[in-house]
């Protein structure tokens, strides 16, 4: 990882050029998006918005929208990357969803981030914006009692512009292929378990963000090369400005200061988790599809590792697994922190 501190002025200039390049890409890539239902005129000042890219997620969508509606999301801005399972028509019927459709390359759009950066630039400025996948569910301190608006109001009052959340892989006790989740069902009734430890953290000196790896995917699928495992660090909630851009998924942003969501002196700042409902019965078929499409990072090498592991009969549950029991449990384990938000 490059060290910005070695040549701070040149480093800042490089990051500024990179940010401008990403914003320019997003503006150009907007031509790939066809509006299906544009209800952005309904967005009011102060509304919390949710931005999503998806493909063939029809079964997940009812619970996903209801979950975030209950937390206080007021409008969803979603890009459908050529779904064939009815996702497009279902989302078109939702009164709080604005939907765009594209059959352009997911890989060629920087894995959807060019499309999302454009929608954030066009519609997100001045709003707290949550950018997540359809299998990611935000949990934060007091989320069972306080809506997202309470969190964002507190973040505003303390001058914070971004909020981090570690991706926490959830899985069933037993074979993944047996973890059937019905349409509209809470996936964490099926995938209730997670790894309480086994995570590594390092600092990316160039972008200033933390890089987190580990958990069940590294343990089960990347045992020979743990550094090849997926990144678990995310910054999904941001008070958006037209000068901002996501660099790599929601792992890091520019300007660089948005990534400084931790205390370098050893204290704790507020953070959350994204419960990750990836490991359900549909996962095996999804792995095969993504291997063939080669639209994910590294020509879908990650999905090749998943497919090989599932073929060997790998199960994610182990004797150290914990059953999920709410945000307080995650705080006790040190996976989230309320910081000084009482």
Confidence of residue 9 (pLDDT cuts 50, 70, 90): confident
Cα separation, 311 vs 293, in Å, equals: 19
What's the rounded mean pLDDT across residues 134-141? 98
Can you give the residue ranges of every domain in the chain?
A: 4-332
What is the distance in angstroms between the CA of the first residue and the CA of the last residue of the chain? 36
Positive or negative torsion for Cα 282, 180, 112, 307: negative
Confidence of residue 270 (pLDDT cuts 50, 70, 90): very high
Q: What is the structure's pLDDT at 6?
A: 52
Q: Which of 130-144, 254-268, 285-299 has the highest mean pLDDT?
A: 130-144
Proportion of the chain above pLDDT 70, given as a percent: 92
Q: What is the structure's pLDDT at 2?
A: 45
Helix ranges (H only) for the chain are: 8-29, 61-71, 87-92, 113-119, 148-157, 215-221, 283-293, 297-311, 327-332
Q: What is the structure's pLDDT at 1?
A: 43
Specify whether the CB–CB gap between 79 and 112 falls below 8 A: yes
What's the rounded mean pLDDT across residues 147-165? 98
- The answer, yes or no, to whether residue 126 has pLDDT greater than 50, is yes
DSSP string, 277-302: ---STTHHHHHHHHHHH--SHHHHHH
What's the rounded mean pLDDT across residues 31-54? 98
The phi, psi pair for 223, rounded to 5°, reads: -65, -30
Q: Return mean pLDDT, the chain.
A: 92
The counts of H helices and E strands in the chain are 9, 15
Predicted confidence (pLDDT) per residue in 205-218, tens digit: 999 999 999 999 99
List the Cα angle 188/191/197 in 5-degree steps: 105
- The answer, yes or no, to whether residue 311 has pLDDT greater than 50, is yes
């Amino acid at each position: 990882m490059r060290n910005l501190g070695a040549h701070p002025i040149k480093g800042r200039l490089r990051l500024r050029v990179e940010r401008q390049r990403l914003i320019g890409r997003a503006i150009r890539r907007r031509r790939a998006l066809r509006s299906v239902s544009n209800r952005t005129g309904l967005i009011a000042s102060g509304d919390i918005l949710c931005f999503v890219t998806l493909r063939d997620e029809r079964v997940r969508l009812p619970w996903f929208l209801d979950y975030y509606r209950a937390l206080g999301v007021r409008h969803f801005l979603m890009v459908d990357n050529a779904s064939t399972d009815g996702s497009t028509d279902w989302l078109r019927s939702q009164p709080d969803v604005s939907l765009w459709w594209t059959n352009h390359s997911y890989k060629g759009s920087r894995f959807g981030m060019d499309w999302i950066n454009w929608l954030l630039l066009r519609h997100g400025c001045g709003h707290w914006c949550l950018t997540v996948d359809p299998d990611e569910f935000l949990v934060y301190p007091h989320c069972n009692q306080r809506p997202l608006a309470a969190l964002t109001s507190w973040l505003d009052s303390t001058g914070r512009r971004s909020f981090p959340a570690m991706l926490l892989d959830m899985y069933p006790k037993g074979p993944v292929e047996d973890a059937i989740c019905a349409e509209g069902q809470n996936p964490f009734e099926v995938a209730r378990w997670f790894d309480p430890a086994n995570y590594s953290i390092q600092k990316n000196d160039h972008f200033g963000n933390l890089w987190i790896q580990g958990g069940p995917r590294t343990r089960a699928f990347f045992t020979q090369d743990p550094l090849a495992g997926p990144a678990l660090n995310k910054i999904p909630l941001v008070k958006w400005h037209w000068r901002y851009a996501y660099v790599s998924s929601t792992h890091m942003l520019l300007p660089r200061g948005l990534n400084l969501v931790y205390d370098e002196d050893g204290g704790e700042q507020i953070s959350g988790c994204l419960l990750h409902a990836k490991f359900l019965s549909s996962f095996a078929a999804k792995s095969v599809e993504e291997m063939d499409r080669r639209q994910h990072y590294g020509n879908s090498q990650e999905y090749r590792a998943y497919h090989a592991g599932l073929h060997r009969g790998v199960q994610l549950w182990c004797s150290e697994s914990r059953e999920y029991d709410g945000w307080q449990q995650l705080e006790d384990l040190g996976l989230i922190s309320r910081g000084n938000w009482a």
